[in-house]
Chain A
């Protein structure tokens, strides 16, 4: 399983764009990159998934460079409710797979 490295914590203010970068130097050819969000005492929630280039949904954008050794989750105009832990995961896009969560990035959004 590819190991991921992401900052332990980040601070931001409401209305700002937040970019969280994850390193995954040993990503395999078949691996996808998935980001989850977790609020205290709640289960992690799927945010976005990508394989290469850029993916955008109503919540976030995911930028993946050509070498796929890193990825950046971009949250536009964050609000206080975006304060949460964000996990970057790398794994095979298969229902057989098991996802291993790292420590995640604790994002604190202040007024």
Chain B
């Protein structure tokens, strides 16, 4: 158990819909990351938040957005869903440098999204 919790574990929705994926980082971790993994694309970095602020952006579509709340949990919002958005979405967390954290990031078990 990595300590990173993601909900829901599985989600099936229709094209055009909107979903929200939720992540609770390890206790005390300030950095939260979102990754997308599909069969043909591998593990793709989407976005990173550090203590509530967006830190880095990767291959995140404009239809997708995320935020990190004061209690450090994070949500990834996916809208106008397309069939190609079907994937496993991972949240990960790590400690900040002032916490003595390195670049070891801990992943949750993922949220399976199927768009039909």
Contacts and interface: CB of A to CB of B under 8 A. Distances in A.
Interface of A: 32, 34, 38, 41-46, 49, 87, 91-104
Contacts of A99: 33, 45, 103, 105
B84 interface: no
Given A41-B88, A96-B96, A46 B45 contact: no
A96 to B, nearest CB: 6
Interface residues of B, number: 33
Interface string B83-116: 0000010101011110101111111111010000
Given A46-B106, A95-B97, 13 more contacts: A34-B104, A38-B43, A41-B110, A42-B109, A44-B107, A91-B103, A93-B103, A95-B96, A95-B101, A99-B33, A100-B58, A101-B45, A104-B42
A92 B110 CA distance: 25
A103 B90 CA distance: 16
A87 B72 CA distance: 27
B99 A43 contact: no
B24 interface: no
Nearest to A49: B104
Given A45-B107, A46-B106, A98 B42 contact: no
A101 B42 contact: yes
